[in-house]
Structure formats: structure tokens, C-alpha cells
């Protein structure tokens, strides 16, 4: 739960780095929360407003942690546009987010 709350604490930080474990723990907890909310909505015949509210609340922290993770792998933020590819874009992004972290000394010496 630490990694999830940490992502919300740093929701406006698009410039630092996020390691692989922090990103994937945030993603796991976020998916579990969404599944829990969806189950509640199905059991109560709710039209989906709770999940929509949660998605809007989690949007900026999710974007921020994704950008920080891409920076940690040494990729340009232009790689975020890979999500525009229908079907395969999400798969390509998952692979990119799974790449190991770069050496931070090397990363800083590039001036990125």
C-alpha cells in the first residue's frame, strides 16, 4: 500500500524517476481497487459511477508514475504515443514499462 499512496503523494511530479517495483505495485493495487469497485457495482446494480469517479481521481497519478517510469528506463517521453497504436499499443507500452532501470549516473550525464 506504501507504493500506491506514494504515487498519490507525488501526483504532480513528472520529472523524477520511478523504479520498476514502485510502478508495478501501484498498478497492481490500482487494478485490485478497480475490481473491488466493479464487483460492488455489479452486486448493487449501480450504473458505473463509482468506477468512473475512481478513474478520474487516479488519472493524474497514473500518468505521472507512467511518465516517471519511462524516464527511469531511459526512454523519451515520445514513447508514450505508442498507446495510439490500436491493439498493440498497450502491449508495447507494457513491455517498455517492464524494462530494467538505467544507471542513474548515466541518465543524468546525458542531460535528459
Per-residue tens of pLDDT for the chain, all 112 residues: 788 888 898 888 888 898 999 999 999 999 999 999 999 999 998 887 898 999 999 999 999 999 999 999 999 888 989 999 998 999 999 999 999 988 765 555 444 4
Can you give the pTM of this predicted structure? 0.82
Continuous segment of H or E residues that includes residue 78: none
- Only one residue has cell 493524474, namely 60
**What pLDDT, on the 0 to 100 scale, is given for residue 13?**
86
The boundaries of the domain holding residue 11 are 2-109
Q: Let me know if 67 is exposed, middle or buried by CB neighbors in 10 A (0-12, 13-18, 19+).
A: middle
Number of domains in the chain: 1
**What pLDDT, on the 0 to 100 scale, is given for residue 109?**
46
Amino acid at each position: 500500500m506504501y507504493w500506491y499512496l506514494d504515487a498519490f503523494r507525488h501526483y504532480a511530479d513528472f520529472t523524477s524517476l520511478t523504479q520498476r517495483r514502485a510502478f508495478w505495485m501501484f498498478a497492481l493495487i490500482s487494478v485490485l481497487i478497480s475490481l473491488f469497485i466493479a464487483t460492488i457495482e455489479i452486486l448493487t446494480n449501480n450504473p458505473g459511477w463509482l468506477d468512473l469517479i475512481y478513474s478520474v481521481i487516479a488519472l493524474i497519478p497514473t500518468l505521472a508514475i507512467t511518465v516517471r517510469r519511462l524516464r527511469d528506463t531511459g526512454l523519451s517521453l515520445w514513447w508514450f504515443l505508442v498507446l495510439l497504436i490500436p491493439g498493440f499499443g498497450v502491449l508495447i507500452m507494457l513491455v517498455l514499462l517492464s524494462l530494467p532501470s538505467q544507471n542513474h549516473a548515466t541518465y543524468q550525464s546525458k542531460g535528459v
